[in-house]
Structure 1
């Protein structure tokens, strides 16, 4: 009976959107926005620091193939890489893999409902496992997102090497759009995960109602 899977179909859609937003956040460079007063090198007075790259607009230092942008790769094992960025590189990738597995499990579980397999206990177990994967993916992504958010709010700097052409410290920092995109994606994964875990088959509902009726009838006989 396909109508029994309405909530789970919505949850599947939310988990797919949440996973996609997490992938977008991972690729964006706007995790931290550095505002600097010296615009001789950084033409716009603004630099962007992501998990994988640090970039800014410049007419004097241009990376080949990047237009007027200068970008440098941020390595996981580099001595200057702060722990919140290193954790983000690892945890965001793990979150994407876990979320992908969760979405695959959701497709399998919803397919079982559409093909009339909702009476089997393995469908409920599959929904519960799917919910656990979605919630785990959300926790993995929220950890570096909140950690980097805290670093921006406290105006923590990064000692980039000279070849990055970045200032020793920004005048101020702003939270980049990538963090907000990632947090929305994580929130959607949490909602979908809870919905998957809360699934109960119609058989379970009817069984609970039948037990309640039998209990009520026994009290009437007494």
Structure 2
């Protein structure tokens, strides 16, 4: 019963780590596409009737009763000369974070499959867990850098020299951090937590050493032998059932 509870708890932690990483990846994509990185409060600009503009890393938007609806969002390109470095870097790093997050989720899913279903061959279990955890950590750091940089620019009330055709002033009356940065910070922290969860999965680190001991231990006197004993039953027709993954037996070391 104790082993069953321990095994289920570790299974739960891994599942939560995978779900946290997947949700963080979705939030990272949402952060990259949101316009509310900076909230600009403007005055004496007759085109912007709402007196508020939302500046993101890809476009700047505002409400206007003067312009057609199609012209109230102005695109921001990395090749534009007026774009500050924090926005240009954010465009590149956020796209890299989305790609790394996708590969990290795939690696984490493969790691879960190896941990749960790969009984005979566990040589790659350490590699897939390290890869998944590293990619999650890299994704969190890639998104954290532009978020902190842009947040610092907002707190310093840095300006952007928008050209006249964008109908935006070069400097707002005041500005504050938008909701996109808050969402991105939460996503980055969740990514880091998922990365640590997969990197700290100790079965992956002990799997190879336990594999080398499977034929050299006494099952009556050495608790390490529990890591390789497979519970199985065989029907008359030769069908095997109930074979457990040895990766989950590591928690029984020293508990017998």
TM category, shorter:
0.7 to 0.9
Shift of 1:113: 2.0
8 Å contact kept, 1:31–1:178: yes
Q: Secondary structure at the match of 2:73?
A: strand
Shift of 1:122: 1.1
Give, in whole Å, the separation in 1 of the partners of 2:193 and 2:83: 33
- Aligned ranges for residues 164-175 of structure 1 at < 5 Å? 164-175=166-177
Post-superposition Cα deviations, 1:136-178, rounded to whole Å, max 9, x if no partner, equal 0111000000000000000000000111000121000010000
Give, in whole Å, the separation in 2 of the partners of 1:141 and 1:118: 38
**Residue of structure 1 in register with 2:152 after alignment:** 150
**Residue of structure 1 in register with 2:98 after alignment:** 96
Give, in whole Å, the separation in 2 of the partners of 1:157 and 1:13: 39
Among 28, 35, 40, the alignment partner of 2:41 is 35
Q: Secondary structure at the match of 2:202?
A: coil
8 Å contact kept, 2:126–2:204: no
Post-superposition Cα deviations, 1:161-212, rounded to whole Å, max 9, x if no partner, equal 111000121000010000000110000000000000001118939959958x
Shift of 1:29: 0.4
Compared with structure 1, are the counterparts of its residues 124 and 118 closer, same or farther at alpha carbon in structure 2 (3 Å cutoff)?
A: farther
**Residue of structure 1 in register with 2:206 after alignment:** 204
Gaps of 5+ in 2: 214-221, 225-256
**Residue of structure 2 in register with 1:105 after alignment:** 107
8 Å contact kept, 1:119–1:201: no
Give, in whole Å, the separation in 1 of the partners of 2:138 and 2:54: 29
**Residue of structure 2 in register with 1:56 after alignment:** 62
What is the root-mean-square deviation of aligned Cα atoms in Å?
2.4
**Residue of structure 2 in register with 1:160 after alignment:** 162
Among 50, 54, 64, the alignment partner of 1:44 is 50
**Relative CO higher for 1 or 2, CA cutoff 8 Å, sep ≥ 6?**
1
Gaps of 5+ in 1: 212-222
Post-superposition Cα deviations, 1:54-92, rounded to whole Å, max 9, x if no partner, equal 11000112243xxxx611110101100110000000000
Give, in whole Å, the separation in 1 of the partners of 2:27 and 2:136: 14
TM-score, L = length of structure 2: 0.75
Aligned length: 207
Give, in whole Å, the separation in 1 of the partners of 2:205 and 2:163: 63
TM-score, L = length of structure 1: 0.86
Structure possessing the higher radius of gyration over alpha carbons: 2
